Chains A and B, each alone.
Chain A
Amino acid sequence: MTATATVSRVTVTAGPVRRRIWSYWRFYLALSPFYVLFAVFGLYPMVSTIVLAFQRWDGLSARKFTGLDNFAFLIQDPTFWTALENTVVLFLMSTVPTLVLALVLAVMLQSAVRFTNVYRIAYFIPNVTSLVAMAIFFSSVFSTNFGLVNAALRSLGIPQQDWLGQPWGIKIAISTMIVWQWVGYNTLIYLAGLQAIPKEQYEAAKVDGAGAVRTFFSITLPQLRPVVLFTVIMSTIGGLQTFTEPQVMVGNSGGTGQSGMTVVLFFYRAAFLDNDYGYAAAIALSIFVLVLLFTAINWRIFRERSEDR
């Protein structure tokens, strides 16, 4: 903000345009690392993905322009619709428990008296652990005959389940892993939000005789709304791009009934296994549209609610 303000102030008094720009070369130089990196690793790939979506390319031969062929095939491809459905279901199965759990934990952590930092670190550790290592660990936990989950079920007298061989088992295993990984991160975000709520409001509530539950729903939750919106949008962006968990746990095929096949895994399969890069680019664009759509919906819901107030 201050930088633009300075620039606009000076431009009024300076000479010819070219010279004006040139005289600020130091500023542009200072800004350039981001823009250069963004242009090379962000803008260029994005633009070429859009171009590629209208072409056929096997990675080595000459590219061929095919118009809307890739998109026409995409909407007819049953695997794409399966992947879309799986992605949305997995997103709901993982995001809702993650955010609810994170909120509960954050409220509990805030009122914890001792060892708060120990808890915070403990909850955050899953988020910085290697995803592949975790996926391998979770696939052992959910394995049929020798997994921890089935051992627990057996000890309770419940028959064991073929978790990674059943469509619903796969979804449960994958979303459990996502929940495990992201609860800690969201807890910390909520905790920061909680600490920003003025203490006076809680004191006033106490004076008025509100209990813990009433205080939570009437003060904590409304005050946290912008933070919740942030976490929901971040989880949407992350959740709709689920890839590593199913890829490591059930493989490139997406497992039984393709129930672990997410849109990004489908994209990976098209690009790097089938070397159908044009089609993969079309899938990538569909992910972009999907994320945009969900973010818009979230934004709408939360903004309207805040306006209702």
Chain B
Amino acid sequence: MELSRRTLLGGFAAVAGGSLVGCSSGMNTGTTAKKNAATELTMWCWPGGLGKSVLDDTVAHFPDPKIKYSEIGGDFKQKLITTFNGGTSIPDITGLKGEDIASLLPQAERFVDLKTVGADSILGDYLDWKVKQATTLDGKVIGLPIDVGPTALFYREDIFAAAGLPSDPAKVADQLKTWDDYFAAGVQLKAKNPKALLVWDATDLYDMVVGQGTERYISKDNKFIGDQDHIRKAWDTSVKAMTLKIDGKTPSGGPDWNAGLDQGTIPTHIGAAWVALDIKSAVKTSAGKWWLAPTPSGPANFGGSFLAITQNAADPQKAFDVIKYMLSADNEAKAFTDAQIFPSAPAAYDKPQLKAADKFFGGQVPIDVFGPAAKAIPVAYQSPFDDAVAAPFHDELKTVQTGAKTSDAAWSAAVSKAKAIAKRQGVQ
């Protein structure tokens, strides 16, 4: 064989490549995670998870190593889990959705404990209850909150006024303090306007009431507490809306709900800050007639995600600098302007972007309602098995709604099903 420059170079490259591979795999014996290459910093999030201008700014702000952002559509958690199992192409930084965080806490060893890279100094800048959601029982913090979803009462000012109910936000807040007040208003409204059912869907309301509490279905010491008073209270509140016949039975997001918002058959909705986007895109004629008041009996939270650093990150410290920058109060305020991503850092609530009045809400300043709500959300422990155990309660509550079962019969069926699921998951 003739020795040319090309074959020689090729041979060198092969030897060099081989030794590099050998080197990197040799270095990692002992640790579970293979480190990513340090040449670029990979970041995963789902569409609309981060503000566009903030993202562009962050990419420009950290040129070395270059940030490679990938938008992952579809079932995000499933794709992340599959990638973890595959063991390659695991991102350095990844978003974690709020509804998945509890089930990912047992996998804390796959993520960097942010306290080890200097998060202690900034954790206090974020809402305490939100940080707790990403904190394991032994104190590791696996994610920095991107956003939160505090709830409020969205109501049709014109329909309230026509039925003789208070329509001014301050007066609504004053009169509809508790669920009982809210239901009483519903009865009064129905008497004047039989088509307008105050509660859009009583089974949806159930989750709101559970979210207002400090305990859920499973306690911190891994015991099933779904059969106790705090859950029964939420159940009874939902059933009360049904028995008062002010339940519209219209699940949010469907075509009936969309049409009902405009037609006045759905005069109120209680939902997280991001529901504003759904309402805005659904209505045509009622823009400007929607107003905001605090949630009766106190705020709950729905959604709100995190940015986490995986154990595979080449340089966890660098990755932390990136997420710290992205989620500063200033940048969170920008992300709110970008895509209505509601800030998780209370300092952002005073920024001009959030202080703006919203014409859709009759010129009201939404942050005046959502800001205090976000700060007042109770801390509740959510077990990794919480969703699985909650499912029978939702299923059985629907049978009460259709009249197929009495409340008591459905409740005992839900409790026994939930207990079986809890037992299977190793809950006592």
Q: What are the residues of chain B within 8 A of A73 when measuring CB–CB?
A: 420, 424
Given A59-B81, A60-B110, A276-B388, also A257-B404 (CB < 8 A): yes
Partner among B103, B399, B420 whose Cβ is within 8 Å of the Cβ of A77: B420
Query: B404: which A residues are within 8 A, CB to CB?
Result: 167, 256-257
Name the prevailing secondary structure of the B interface residues.
Answer: helix
Write the chain B residue with the least CB distance to A72: B424
CB distance from A213 to the nearest CB of B (A): 44
Among residues of A, the one whose C-beta sits closest to the C-beta of B404 is A257
Chain A residues with CB below 8 A from B387, complex form: 273-274
Q: A38 at the A/B interface (Cβ < 8 Å)? A: no
Q: B391 near A257 (CB under 8 angstroms)?
A: no
Complex Cα distance, B425 from A181, in Å, reads: 39
* Contacts A73-B424, A167-B402; A274 near B260 (Cβ below 8 A): no
A-B contacts, CB under 8 A, total: 74
**Chain B 408-427 near chain A by CB (<8 Å), digits 1 or 0:** 00000000010010001100
Give the shortest distance, in Å, between A257 (CB) and chain B (any CB). Answer: 5
Is A257 a contact partner of B399 (Cβ separation < 8 A)? Answer: yes
Kindly state whether residue B129 has any CB partner on chain A within 8 Å. no
Q: Is the interface of A mostly helix, strand, loop or mixed?
A: loop
7 chain-A/chain-B pairs, Cβ below 8 angstroms: A60-B85, A143-B256, A145-B260, A257-B395, A257-B399, A269-B391, A272-B75
The answer on a CB contact under 8 Å between B107 and A60 is: yes
Q: Which residues of B contact A257 (CB under 8 A)?
A: 395, 398-399, 402, 404
Measured CA separation A144–B81 after assembly (Å): 39
Where the two chains meet, the residues of A that have a C-beta atom closer than 8 Å to any C-beta of B are 58-61, 73, 76-79, 139-140, 143-147, 162, 165-167, 253-258, 269, 272-276, 279
Q: Which residues of B contact A60 (CB under 8 A)?
A: 81, 84-85, 107, 110
B residues neighboring A (CB under 8 Å): 75, 78, 81, 84-85, 103, 106-107, 110, 249-250, 254-256, 259-260, 265, 385, 387-388, 391-392, 394-395, 398-399, 401-402, 404, 417, 420, 424-425
B85–A59 touching, CB < 8 Å: yes
Q: Please indicate the chain A residues that have their CB under 8 angstroms from the CB of B107 in the complex.
A: 60-61
A167 → B minimal CB distance (Å): 7
CA distance A140 to B265 in the complex (A): 18
In this complex, what residue of B is CB-closest to A252?
B391
Q: Which 3 A-B pairs have the closest CB atoms?
A: A274-B388, A143-B255, A146-B259
Residues on A with C-beta less than 8 A from B420 are 73, 76-77
In the complex, the chain B residue whose C-beta lies closest to that of A70 is B424
Contact B250 A256 (CB under 8 A): no
The smallest C-beta distance from B111 to any residue of chain A, in angstroms, reads 11
CB distance from B255 to the nearest CB of A (A): 5
Say yes or no: B255 contacts A258, CB within 8 Å.
no
Query: Which residues of B have CB within 8 Å of A269?
Result: 391
Known: A60-B81, A77-B420. A139 touches B398 (CB 8 A): no
Residue of A nearest to B259 (CB): A146
Q: Kindly state the separation between the CA atoms of A78 and B401 in the bound complex, as whole angstroms.
A: 20
Name the A residues within 8 Å of B254 (CB-CB): 139, 143
Contact B249 A162 (CB under 8 A): yes
Contact A58 B249 (CB under 8 A): no
In the assembled complex, which residues on chain A have CB atoms less than 8 Å from the CB atom of B259? 145-146
Among B385, B392, B394, B424, residue most surrounded by chain A Cβ atoms (within 10 Å): B424
Contact between chains at A254 and B250 (CB < 8 Å): no
What is the distance, in angstroms, from A64's C-beta to the closest C-beta of chain B?
A: 11
How distant is A85 from chain B, measured CB to nearest CB, in Å? 15
Give the docked Cα–Cα distance between A256 and B405 (Å). 12
- Other-chain contact of A79, B103, B402, B417 (Cβ < 8 Å): B417
Query: Which residues from B are CB-within-8-Å of A145?
Result: 256, 259-260, 265
Bound complex: CA A58 to CA B259 (Å): 41
- Closest chain A residue to B103, Cβ basis: A275
Q: How far is the CA of A61 from the CA of B81 in the complex (A)?
A: 11
Bound-state Cα–Cα, A253 to B398, Å = 10
Q: A77-B420, A144-B256 are in contact. Are A58 and B388 (CB under 8 A)?
A: no
> Do the beta carbons of A78 and B78 come within 8 Å of each other?
no
Q: Which of chain B's residues have a CB closer than 8 A to the CB of A275?
A: 81, 103
Cβ of A272: which chain B residues have Cβ within 8 Å of it?
Answer: 75, 78
What is the minimal beta-carbon distance from B106 to any residue of chain A, in angstroms? Answer: 7
Starting from the known contacts A144-B250, A147-B255, A256-B398, 10 additional A-B residue pairs (CB-CB under 8 Å) come to A59-B81, A60-B110, A79-B392, A139-B254, A145-B265, A146-B255, A253-B398, A256-B399, A272-B78, A275-B103
Residues of chain A with a CB closer than 8 A to B81's CB: 59-60, 275
- Give Cα distance in the complex from A144 to B395, angstroms: 20
Chain A nearest CB, measured from B421 CB (Å): 8
- CB-CB nearest in chain B for A279: B424
Q: What's the Cα separation between A78 and B417 when bound, in Å?
A: 8
Looking across the interface, which residue of chain B has its beta carbon closest to that of A58? B106
Chain B residues with Cβ below 8 Å from A140 are 255
* Cα of A166 to Cα of B404 in the assembled complex, Å: 9
Knowing A60-B85, A60-B110 touch, does A139 contact B394 (C-beta < 8 A)?
no
Collect the chain B residues with CB atoms within 8 Å of residue A274's CB: 385, 387-388
